[in-house]
Amino acid sequence: MKILAIETSCDDTGIAILEVLPSGEFKVLSNVVSSQTALGKKYGGVFPAMAKRAHQKNLVPTFIEALKKAKLLKTGLSQNFTAVKKTDISEILEREPELEKKLVSFLKKYKKPDIDLISVTNGPGLEPCLWVGVNFAKAISSFWNIPIVAVNHIESHILVNFLENSEIKFPAIALVVSGGHTQIILVKSIGKYEILGETRDDAAGECFDKCAKILGLGYPGGPIISKLAEKAQRNSSYVGLNTKLPRPMIGTKDYDFSFSGLKTAVLYADRKSKVKNKKYKQEMSAEVQQAIIDVLIKKTMKAVKDFKAKSLILGGGVSANKELRNQMQKKLAKELPEAKFFVPTPNLSTDNALMTAITGFYHKKNTVDWKLIQANGNLRISK
């Protein structure tokens, strides 16, 4: 079967096509991400209204590219292009007129592709952005009469690990660390989850981004801090910062996090610091990164031990961080060598639609009438 997936939960527009062979093997036909990083860089962050507009503009061109890469783009008028069908599209995309125009001209030019299921992220995320993807998915589901399933973005950050690792054993502990979330989740099996703990304020990725802004490093903060930290660590004279940053909640008995105090500590340290040269920025970056990593590792390892997990799964944009991956893997190998470690390749850690496709596959029995699908910015993977 071939699954078309649409992901617009934050600022990147993702469209992927995944084929699941009769043997159960996954074959990636295409995975296209139209990044809005340039916009984010210009304005120093993500703004929902601006991101929503960019999704409206990018969805159809991204769709065309994904179909082309998958060799599923065929010119020729859709047989079912009638005035009635067009009215449906106009109604669904009532709030996205630019997208409607682009989609209608696409549908006049190209035939229905060989797709068996549509999978779309309906939450959590930025609600205006989620709605654009959801409405786009509804429009093509209705027009081409293709079954549709709505999937959870956090679950997708976990299940993307199954693309290359069907042998993941349960119970597993998943640490999902992104720009909007930091959660430790008990994975009893695919589809059965329990949130054990989460951040009480800022997410880990948000902390990276805000600290980078304070230090005047640009956007998105995670990859920039990680690069600068690497430079500090390569310098043989580097022994760590004189003033250590706090590791908030590292000693508490729960699985919760808090990162806003760390950001404030960086702000005060930065105000106090007289020299703000390259070396200072590199060393601050290394300390910020290590403070975040220390807390993530401590709480995650506690959960792995407490629940006797057979696997530890990482996911979300921050799991692209090289130091986090390496240090977490080493700690697990040392303290619990029988547990296995899984992390996506870095380009699948950050938002993409392939993760949405694989999640749609595991929930292929949950298709619903497209009319019933709603975006929900606060959707949760468990109660």
Residues in contact with Zn ion, counted by CB under 5 A, come to a total of 2
Cβ 5 to ligand KG4, closest distance in Å? 15
Contact 52, 128 (CB under 8 A): yes
Which tokens in the block code for residue 100?
């409607």
Nearer to Zn ion, 178 or 282 (CB): 178
Cβ 351 to Zn ion, closest distance in Å? 4
Rounded CA-CA distance 214/271 in Å is 10
Nearer to ligand KG4, 180 or 197 (CB): 180
What residues line the site for ligand KG4 (CB under 6 A)? Answer: 10, 178-180, 205, 208-209, 220-223, 226, 316-318, 320-321, 350-351
Contact 31, 375 (CB under 8 A): no
Cβ 350 to ligand KG4, closest distance in Å? 4
Cβ 301 to ligand KG4, closest distance in Å? 19
Cβ 310 to ligand KG4, closest distance in Å? 25
Cβ 281 to ligand KG4, closest distance in Å? 16
Cβ 346 to ligand KG4, closest distance in Å? 7
Rounded CA-CA distance 346/357 in Å is 18
Nearer to Zn ion, 158 or 211 (CB): 158
In whole angstroms, what separates CA 215 from the centre of its chain?
A: 25
Nearer to Zn ion, 226 or 352 (CB): 352
Q: Considering only the C-alpha atoms of the chain, give the largest distance between any 2 of them, rounded to a whole number of Å.
A: 72
Residue 128, contacted partner among ligand KG4, Zn ion, none, CB below 5-8 A by kind = none
Nearer to Zn ion, 33 or 92 (CB): 33
Rounded CA-CA distance 105/124 in Å is 31
Q: What share of the chain is helix, strand, coil (3-state, %, to 5)?
A: 50, 20, 35
Residue 113, contacted partner among Zn ion, ligand KG4, none, CB below 5-8 A by kind = none
Nearer to ligand KG4, 218 or 261 (CB): 218
Residue 124, contacted partner among ligand KG4, Zn ion, none, CB below 5-8 A by kind = none
* Length of the chain, in residues: 383
Residue 321, contacted partner among ligand KG4, Zn ion, none, CB below 5-8 A by kind = ligand KG4
What count of Cα atoms within 13 Å lies in the side-chain half-sphere of residue 37?
A: 13
Cβ 217 to ligand KG4, closest distance in Å? 11
Which tokens in the block code for residue 207?
């902390």
What count of Cα atoms within 13 Å lies in the side-chain half-sphere of residue 21?
A: 7
Rounded CA-CA distance 12/51 in Å is 8
Q: Map residues 171-200 to x or -, x wherever contact with Zn ion holds by CB under 5 A.
A: -------x----------------------
| Residue 209 binds to Zn ion (criterion: CB under 5 A) | no
Residue 123, contacted partner among ligand KG4, Zn ion, none, CB below 5-8 A by kind = none
The conformational region for residue 45 under phi > 0 = left, psi -120 to 50 = alpha, else beta, is: left
| Residue 351 binds to Zn ion (criterion: CB under 5 A) | yes
Rounded CA-CA distance 5/16 in Å is 5
Rounded CA-CA distance 204/328 in Å is 15
Positions touching Zn ion (CB under 5 A) are 178, 351
